[in-house]
Amino acid sequence: MTKSLVYEYYKKVMKNLLAQIPSPNTIQVAGPAKGGFKTIGDFISNVLTLAFAIGILVALIMLIWGAFEWITSGGDKESVGKARNRIINALIGLAVLAVAFALAKVAAVFLGFELGNLTVPTPNPSPSAGSL
């Protein structure tokens, strides 16, 4: 007798808990996500963004490395000179990246396109022989 009461209670509770879930026959598993770029402009924009991000990270790492070398040089003239050169080169690298980014933006404005919206022209379909 107790088993049937527990079963009925369990059945009633589970029915209320699962009321919003569709039946197992209607659950569909989605296929794999489709990757890729829709336009060549998206690809170029993403490559340029990635290149600038990597360049900035490398320059900042070199800057930190130079600062660490300077701090740990212990007053040695040669070590301080190496650290100073590393810091100067990192700052030059950041300046070059900034100029390259600005030139890319200016070129995009003068050429009349946005880096994210480049489209590749496609040829018109040739007329079939029967339509002439």
Per-residue pLDDT reduced to its tens digit, 92-118: 999 999 998 888 878 777 776 666 554
Using CA atoms, how far apart are residues 93 and 100, in angstroms rounded to an integer?
10
Residue 106, pLDDT score: 82
Q: Is residue 19 part of a domain?
A: no
pLDDT, the chain, mean: 76
Q: Of 5-19, 42-56, 67-81, 117-131, which range is least confident?
A: 117-131
Which range of residues forms the domain containing residue 103? 60-117
Q: How many domains does the chain have?
A: 1
Q: Is residue 30 part of a domain?
A: no
Q: Is residue 127 part of a domain?
A: no
Q: Is residue 7 part of a domain?
A: no
pTM for the full predicted model: 0.56
The DSSP-derived string for the chain is -HHHHHHHHHHHHHHHHTTTSPPGGG-----PPP-S-SSHHHHHHHHHHHHHHHHHHHHHHHHHHHHHHHHTTTT-HHHHHHHHHHHHHHHHHHHHHHHHHHHHHHHHHHHT--GGG-----PPPPPPGGG-
Q: Is residue 37 part of a domain?
A: no
Q: Is residue 132 part of a domain?
A: no
Q: Is residue 16 part of a domain?
A: no
Q: Is residue 112 part of a domain?
A: yes
Whether the pLDDT of residue 91 is over 80: the answer is yes
